[in-house]
Amino acid sequence: MLQTRLRRPGATIGSAMAALAAGGLVALAFAGCGIVAPGPVDTVGEVDFDTPLAIPPLAESHVDADGTRVFALDARAGSTEFAPGVASESWGFNGTYLGPTLVADRGEHVRVDVTNSLDEPTTVHWHGMHLPAAMDGGPHQMVAPDASWSPEWTIDQPAATLWYHPHPHGETEAHVAKGLAGMFVLHDEAERALGLPGEYGVDDVPVIVQDAGFSADGAREDPQRGYAGGLGDEVLVNGTRGPYLDATTELVRLRLLNASTARTYAFTWGDARPIELIATDGGLLEASVALDHVRLSPGERAEVLLRLAPGERVVLQSRMTAEIAGLESVVASMNGGADAFDVLEVRAAEELQPAASAPTELASIDDFDPAEVVTTRRFELGDSFEINGEAMDMGRIDETVTVNTLERWIVENTNAVPHSFHVHDVQFRIASIDGEAPPAELAGWKDTIFTEPETTYELLMRFDDYADPSTPYMYHCHLLWHEDQGMMGQFAVVEPGQRATMSEGTHHEH
């Protein structure tokens, strides 16, 4: 989603080989760990679009006597036919692949009864959700085989497209790649009053995008691995190969979720029409933004509107380039940054239900006052799967945050390779990118950002509540192989004067 900027003096790597060798681990990863970096992939014009898009079912729920809305998720192993008659091993929630879409309203108290029917421990993390640390579903809330866990919390954030997925330390990439993921959609009165498309699966459609590898006969297989992680040569949408969506309305709202473990996409329309962005990770933008592409790294979400004419067909594509990724061309080519995909064909009916234009004003977002910042923290993303030179330690609190305070987090990708940055519990605002104001498409609420090489991001975030000195939240790279290798840290939110109960490190200044 970012336009490419001029690099700072001295930031550009002098040669392609220097870019590849930008740190000992990069060279080691490609030369000594059995990694065969995939070459560029281009499926544009090669996809038949012969399968109706699967729509994840809405999760069933009931309301208890105390007013709590209760959902149930069961993590299971099974098999899925991604190609007719060819079974592939897969995992899913309440089924064999992916999971149902949970829907709740702001102000509701919810509980999710999670059962683990797998043969190994897992977790369920509520990505993008504001909730107590003990309910977050990170690596400290493991659910053993044949065990259950019932987190509950009150929805207290704007309408947004969130998602859920496992978060076991060292195993997240594998669990997500096998199929454990699903959407969690939040509504509120202000969003409902806008008259945006809102009939689930009809004009309000989940689009869960994952890349995968398949054998010649259609069995799912492990993809090749670049520095970013496993990169498949084919795209699934809601678990569907070659999907098409039959549209019956003039205006369609697509909720894009990059549920891939490593691949970053640049979503665009095949006929070069502008892509109309209305929401990012944490909810609606103040106004829609017309773009030539929407860049989403793993974990990021975007809501876009598509206006259709009767009988037309429009193809959602991803067309990544080294420029969009902010990468040197040789690094981009080995990490999906030069790949192009046909993703989803939208087929308009000959007669369409009319729809009004989206309102010019979508939401009101109050800016943080930088004068209220009480703490500044710095996070350096290295090429050795470390943050601030340290790998994840489950017994160490890296940062201690005082509740009800505004903080500035300075996040810098210091090398020539791709990373991202995700913060649990809060939605943040991007105050600046290399000292400049963010573009309009990044001016809303975010919880995950793609961090371009040799680029510094200034994030503002407020920790309003949920102090708990004994249970941490996570911050980490959301390229899941990087996370599994240790590119993650822990922070605890405490009352004024309180200390976290684990050992503490710190990287902040007042």
**Closest CA relative to residue 90, chosen from 206, 217, 239:** 239
Q: How deeply is 222 buried, as exposed, middle or buried, from its count of CB atoms within 10 A (0-12, 13-18, 19+)?
A: exposed
Q: What angle do CA 341, 300, 195 make, to 5 degrees?
A: 95
Secondary structure (3-state) at 154:
strand
Q: Where in the chain is the domain with CATH 2.60.40.420?
A: 37-48+201-353, 56-189, 370-509
Q: Is 400:467 a contact under the CB 8 Å cutoff?
A: no
- Rounded CA-CA distance 298/257 in Å is 8
How confident is the model over 265-298, as pLDDT tens digits? 999 999 999 999 999 999 999 999 999 999 999 9
**Closest CA relative to residue 362, chosen from 306, 426, 304:** 304
How confident is the model over 93-123, as pLDDT tens digits? 999 999 999 999 999 999 999 999 999 999 9
Q: Quick one: CA dihedral 366, 367, 371, 375, positive or negative?
A: positive
Task: Give all strands (DSSP E) within 106-156, no chain letters.
Answer: 109-116, 125-127, 148-149, 152-154
**Length of the chain counted residue by residue:** 510
Q: Can you give the pLDDT at residue 508?
A: 53
- Rounded CA-CA distance 250/112 in Å is 36
Task: Give all strands (DSSP E) within 434-505, no chain letters.
Answer: 448-451, 455-463, 473-476, 488-494, 503-504
Token code pair at residue 293: 């592409």
* Fold exhibited by the domain 37-48+201-353: Immunoglobulin-like (2.60.40)
In what helix (H) or strand (E) does residue 191 lie, and over which residues does it extend? Answer: helix 189-192
Helix-then-strand count for the chain, H and E: 7, 38
Single pTM value for the model: 0.93
Q: Can you give the pLDDT at residue 383?
A: 82
**Closest CA relative to residue 247, chosen from 304, 161, 310, 195:** 310
* Fold exhibited by the domain 370-509: Immunoglobulin-like (2.60.40)
How confident is the model over 454-497, as pLDDT tens digits? 999 999 999 999 999 999 999 999 999 999 999 999 999 999 99
Three-state DSSP string of 311-355: CCEEEEEEECCHHHHCCCHHHHHHCCCCCEEEEEEEEEEEEEECC
Residues of the chain with pLDDT under 50: 1-34, 510
Domain 56-189 coded CATH 3.40.1010.10? no
Token code pair at residue 394: 């489950």
Q: Can you give the pLDDT at residue 358?
A: 86
Q: Can you give the pLDDT at residue 503?
A: 72
- Rounded CA-CA distance 33/223 in Å is 15
Percent of the chain with pLDDT over 70: 91
Which position has the token pair 């600046």?
Answer: 432
CA–CA distances in Å: residue 455 to residues 12, 226, 276, 335: 11, 21, 27, 18
- Rounded CA-CA distance 124/120 in Å is 13
